[in-house]
Amino acid sequence: MNIGSDIELVSALPMDRALPRHLDVDDFARLSKRVVLKFDLLLLPFLCLLFLLNSLDKSNVGNAESGHFTEDLGLPKAALNVSVAWFFAVFVSCQPFGAFFGRKYGMARWVPATMGLWGVCTALHVAVQSQTQLVTLRVLIAALESGFYPTVVSYLSLWYTRYEFGKRLAFFYGQAALAGCVGGLLSWAVFSYFPHDDPSPHTAATKWRSWEILFLIEGSLTILVAFVGFFWLPHSASTAWFLTADERLVAEERIRRDQIAAASSWTNPKHRPNLDDNESRPSTLPELRSSLTLDDEEADLLLSRAGSTQPTTRRSSHASAVSMTADSGVSREDIFSAVADWKVWYLLFCNILSAIPATAFAVFLPLVIKGIAGRGELGPAAINLLVVPPFLAGAIILWLFTWWSDKHRTRLIPILYGLAILLAGLAATVALPTRAYKLRYLALTVLLSGSFVASPLTVAWLSNNIPQPGKRAIVLGINGWGNFAGVISSMLFAPRFAEEGYIIPFYVTLVCVLTAFVGYLAFRALIVTENQRRERIVAGWDDEEVRREATFGDGAVVEQKNFWTIITRACKLNKLRDWAEVDRLRRGDEKLTFVYSL
């Protein structure tokens, strides 16, 4: 992050109310730059390593299968697809619950604990003797991994400002593509050093099979890194072992100011309230508090700036309001707001359709390459080596697109361009003759190049536009249902389609991605329309109404019929809100002064 943007953040609130008096604007900018550098060097790479191992343990059955995994066990070829389908069914179903527990108990505790357990399950693949045992292990790994991605992404978003986040998320999510490279190279090395000379039972009983060594290596690495994670990952900036006392204060304050700026992004200058103008405030804090509930995170955040030196009384579920970087804390309001948000479900539908190629090829790419190249023409080592270039292309394109996304502060346009590349690769794959092996492999590389863009930038859009950490964690958990694409892909890329080069699965995938492209295009139009609606409403308010809405979410509202009000009435969400004892104050992106970024 450059110094100019740091100074812009500093200007959001007076320095003497935010930081110790010995720190001035230049100190803040300098320390902020140092804090980000430490996050980039010490925190981000370790989180990337966690996701790399997570992706390896999720997809290694595909690499193992190219080394005669089910054949050695005497299982039918469909056993792999059955286990993958069960994996994703459980993985998808448990996503919000995993995200909830991850947020409730804290990333620094929850993820290393579950990671160590799924590492044990990975290693136990060497003891599999039946399809039931295989499915059981995959189901256990799915349940343990279910909350990993939303929990870690939510945790990562706590440390970076909105438009620092995209590039870092690319490095993180890029491990899904890099895992394909590493998994392919590791499998190539194992299968080359331990060739599958004789799959007969008497030979298998006297030595380690190549796929057994693969599972043992990956499982052991996961267990080791999980153990280190207990000591490496901080619960918040105040417990970060790699930050000095001043850096901890700056780490908290830079995120606080970024969130306040996000929640105060209305465009009409005449309605820009001075949140630190004492004359515009009620005379006493109790008077100001009388209009609020104790569960309003933003109110506590801003009230702490109004001169109160006493800690605010809060319920334990709102730990995140005390520290902007705390890795735990979720409230009933967070859960209700996340579940009732139409944007979450709309993007989930688009995400499922756009994620089919990435989830499918994470597991089945070695088998697809084998099908494209023709049966028996390539050995396991060669097949896994050919897996590397497509995944490497995907990682490079992902980083370039997220760099562009952060630089121009846009998310939805890069998503559309990424899907366009994906569609081009899919169209070429289905259009080329099945015997054009080299050209189809090249088309497959183009296809993978665009496969990894939509999902992380969808997460980045959600993170940018949901200021409340608790709601954000639940939303990312719901968005994790996008892994339902894995269930679809396990049915699409079944062994019966291998003979014809998986033509039918590619056609179905093409239709799904095209639908996702249209969906994202329509979503951008809906968000632009919603921003315009809010601007029209706020333009008719006086300064006091705008100030109260921006601060507390309880300003005057001119009721207008729109997509959201129609859905709200149809689903009787207000009655559900009353039944759940959730107040009707608008928080975060629900405030009419909040402008969604595109």
Kindly report, residue by residue over 80-133, the tens digit of the pLDDT.
878 888 888 888 888 888 888 887 787 788 889 999 999 999 999 888 888 888
Question: What single-letter amino acid sits at 276?
Answer: D
pLDDT at site 190: 80
Whole-number average pLDDT of the chain: 75
Kindly report, residue by residue over 491-500, the tens digit of the pLDDT.
887 777 777 7
pLDDT at site 97: 83
Kindly report, residue by residue over 514-533, the tens digit of the pLDDT.
999 999 999 999 999 988 88
pTM over 0.75: no
Q: State the Cα–Cα distance between residues 568 and 591, nearest whole angstrom.
A: 16
What do you get for the CA distance between the two ends of the chain, in Å? Answer: 21
pLDDT at site 291: 33
pLDDT at site 564: 53
Cβ atoms 98, 512 nearer than 8 A: no
**Three-class DSSP category at 238:** helix
Q: State the Cα–Cα distance between residues 313 and 309, nearest whole angstrom.
A: 12
pLDDT at site 324: 59
Question: Is 224 a residue whose pLDDT tops 60?
Answer: yes
pLDDT bucket at 416, cuts 50 / 70 / 90: very high
Question: Is 263 a residue whose pLDDT tops 70?
Answer: no
Residues of the chain with CATH 1.20.1250.20: 30-237+340-526
205 φ, ψ to 5°? -75, -15
pLDDT bucket at 390, cuts 50 / 70 / 90: confident
* Least-confidence region, from 141-145, 249-253, 303-307: 303-307
Cβ atoms 194, 167 nearer than 8 A: no
Close Cβ partners of 191 (under 8 Å, ≥ 6 residues apart): 66, 67, 210, 379, 380, 381, 384
Question: Is 550 a residue whose pLDDT tops 70?
Answer: yes
Q: State the Cα–Cα distance between residues 56 and 65, nearest whole angstrom.
A: 14
Question: Is 299 a residue whose pLDDT tops 80?
Answer: no
pLDDT at site 293: 33
Q: State the Cα–Cα distance between residues 542 and 550, nearest whole angstrom.
A: 12
Both tokens assigned to 131: 């399809």
In eight-state DSSP terms, residue 504 is H
In degrees, rounded to 5, the angle at the alpha carbon of residue 121 between the alpha carbons of residues 115 and 124 is 145
Cβ atoms 448, 393 nearer than 8 A: yes
pLDDT at site 81: 79
**Three-class DSSP category at 117:** helix
Q: The domain 30-237+340-526: what is its CATH number?
A: 1.20.1250.20
Close Cβ partners of 353 (under 8 Å, ≥ 6 residues apart): 485, 512, 513, 515, 516, 519
